[in-house]
Amino acid sequence: MNEPVITPELVAKHGITPEEYENILKILGRVPTYTELGIFSVMWSEHCSYKNTKPLLKTFPTRSDRIMVGAGEENAGIIDIGDNLAIAFKMESHNHPSAVEPFQGAATGVGGIIRDIFTMGARPICAMNSLRFGELQSPEVRRLFRGVVGGIAHYGNCFGIPTIAGEVCFDASYEGNPLVNAFCLGVLRHEQIARGAAKGIGNPVFYVGPATGRDGLAGAAFASQDLTEASAEQQRGAVQVGDPFMEKLVMEACLELLAAKDAVAGIQDMGAAGLTCSTCETAARAGTGIEIELSKVPQRATGMTPYEIMLSESQERMLIIVNKGHEAEVQRIFDKWDLPWSEIGVVTDTGRMVVRNHGEVVADIPAAKIANDSPVYHRESKEPEYLNDVRAFQISSVQDTTTATQDLEALLAVPTIASKNWVYRQYDHQVRDGSVVCPGSDAAVVRIKADSLPMLSEGQSETVPAGTEKYIAMAVDGNGTYVYLDPYEGSKTVVAECARNLACTGAIPLGSTDNLNFGNPHHPELFYQLKESVRGLAEACDVFGAPVTGGNVSLYNQNPHGAIDPTPTIAIVGLVEKKEHITTQWFKDEGDVIILLGEAVDEGDPNLGLGGSAYLQNRKGIKNGTPPRCDLKKEKAVQDATLDCIRAGWVKSAHDCSEGGLAVTLAECCFTKNVALNTPRFTGAQVDLSALKCARKDALLFGETQSRIIVSVSPANADKILAKAKEHSVPAAVIGKVTGSGKDSELSIRLAQETLSWNVSAIYGTWWNAIGSVMDAAAH
């Protein structure tokens, strides 16, 4: 084979530093082969090794009595939900691929995260996503947006999994570098947990799934470098092509094989770094070695080199370590599902990953050295200078609003705040009949029922009590602007808001998964953002009892004009103990009392909750000011009080107060219920804020002071709610009542000097159509 000569230029092209190359020479005791260089390149990339972030990630809380598989142990974390049931969940990014090929980049992001779940032995039952784009006025942003949403819809709908919740944000900082974070959750019995370890010396190693092609070559390395126009064009081949129908077959075959008694010793999907990652990681986890023969790997293209076969990220492929003597079972099951399979290797006792091609050794590396012992860097951190301007900003320099009525209408049309129905109507969010609360409320709720579970082994008796049903709530949140303006406080707020969404739904947090989307860690100012953000995330996850079970780090998110806003996204999964506790955000009945839990305005905040707010950005054109403070103790008290009231059966609706402030929250309570397809229910409300003290009208209406929830209750329960709030030391005030429903319904807000009013049907139209009108007009 005519392999390239290893030169300093070739080493640099693989993203390996001279110091790292010296380390490779020491590990091997010789110059690497071209294939070995490629293996080190992907395994020591940030995407696979977390070499720039490992020290930070160790600060996350990762343990609880419920955690069965923790962060970093396997492909996804697993949490006990009682009655011998457990859930597996995780979130990962596909940012760079989606910037280059939005449809396939997003589609294969969904495919990859689904594989992470069924690799654990769990049946995937629902998906979420968190998406960020530049400003919607840009034709290029609309192209990326349309492609990404189309790719997610295509893969999820064809695979047959409900995409049940998510978030979409638009900001100029994501121009040219969209963020596409995909989440999946699955369910299994305790005894069905599968492990990704190459156990059992002499056990055969099987490749199952479609043939390997040249798509996705070195995708992990591509994701670990700055995105430029030149790199995007060059790396179009680093974007994989997905086949959701094939993945469905692979999943069913793998779950059937896992149910075959004692057949599987270990299983791993071929995700980032493909065959390379799956072989060395399974061997490293088990403390064994692995030897494979590439001529036995099914190949889609002719003349593929060992380098290409090892680094390809072709989709829907799995590596299975089979217990010796059970080979025929693998063959029978995969033939039944009409899927390619091949016995490509064996587990050894050498501790080495040995790769042969037609018998010739092309790679021979200690497995643990590439899987676990990647370089670890403690990057320089320096506070960015722009934070001086942020702290110096004073809201008093901005004139108070004189157009509050128009301000609310305008905020409801801001794409980040407006209805995301243009997105989620493309997703099947009810397939499998487990969706209880669909997109459109604070958190989604899915029902775990008998047919949600993977199959049992032949002759095995059911270990889950008959008639058991569980209700799992989930939400995903992020706020790049807050984190940009104050990485520590902003990151605490991201977790607090996500937990608040669950509390409003009646759920207690069980655990979380995160996606850290940041810029180039070699820049001290950008690394400062990451370091401070992780500090805030870790502190908040600990307070809310939501330990991190795993996640993903996506660095080098830069467009040619600079880095994205630092954007940690967090997904929290919770348990609703009883079906009757499930709560939604829209007002229910005429005459119900509206109560504000939490302070109306944080008077101790010099910007009164307006720093970094949607109002300041969109109505004043200012992206500045210290964002609202997040007092975790106060936040926890508000959430606990809300949950106590929901469990007591007193709360009819609950909605967290976030972007756009109190006015936007109240408007959403009036119209977010859809009784049928595109058939909203309009409910009026009379609100009186005249007794609430605040120096500024805009701060009272549109300020984003944290730790606030709007609940509606029957008049008979209003005093009970106020008493419970007092018990938790939570400020609470009756601020109005729900009025009649219908097209003539009005939302009126009385202030000290005036009363504002809006026709609910009219502002609903603005909110509901804001994104669709832009996208549909552009399509014509």
Active site residues: 47, 94
Give the integer Cα–Cα distance in Å for 83 and 105: 38
Give, in order, the Cα–Cα distances in Å from 677 to each of 154, 425, 481, 639, 680: 21, 10, 34, 32, 8
What secondary structure does DSSP assign to 238-298, as a single string? GS----HHHHHHHHHHHHHHHHSTT-EEEEEE--TTHHHHHHHHHHHHHT-EEEEEGGGS-
Helix, strand, coil shares, percent, the chain, to 5: 40, 25, 35
H or E element, residue 24: helix 18-28
Give the integer Cα–Cα distance in Å for 469 and 450: 8
Burial of 313 (0-12, 13-18, 19+ CB in 10 A): buried
- For the four alpha carbons of 475, 479, 483 and 488, in that order, the dihedral sign comes to negative
Backbone angles phi, psi at 73, to 5 degrees: -75, -40
698-712 per-residue burial string, b: 16 or more CB within 10 A, e: under 16: bbbbbbbbbbbbbbb
Give, in order, the Cα–Cα distances in Å from 466 to each of 84, 123, 450, 533, 575: 12, 19, 9, 44, 19
Residues 6+ apart with CB under 8 A from 631: 706, 707
Residues 6+ apart with CB under 8 A from 34: 3, 4, 6, 307
Give the integer Cα–Cα distance in Å for 640 and 508: 9
Give, in order, the Cα–Cα distances in Å from 743 to each of 509, 671, 740, 763, 766: 38, 11, 10, 11, 14
Q: Could you tell me the end-to-end alpha-carbon distance of the chain, in angstroms, rounded to an integer?
A: 53
H or E element, residue 651: strand 651-656
Residues 6+ apart with CB under 8 A from 754: none
DSSP letter at 439 equals B
H or E element, residue 11: helix 8-13
Residues 69, 193: contact at Cβ < 8 Å?
yes
Give the integer Cα–Cα distance in Å for 382 and 527: 8
Give the integer Cα–Cα distance in Å for 520 and 503: 35
The tokens describing 200, both together, are 């059992």
The tokens describing 405, both together, are 């009525």
492: helix, strand or coil: helix
316: helix, strand or coil: coil
Residues 193, 78: contact at Cβ < 8 Å?
yes
With tokens 């840009």, the residue in question is 138
Residues 673, 586: contact at Cβ < 8 Å?
yes
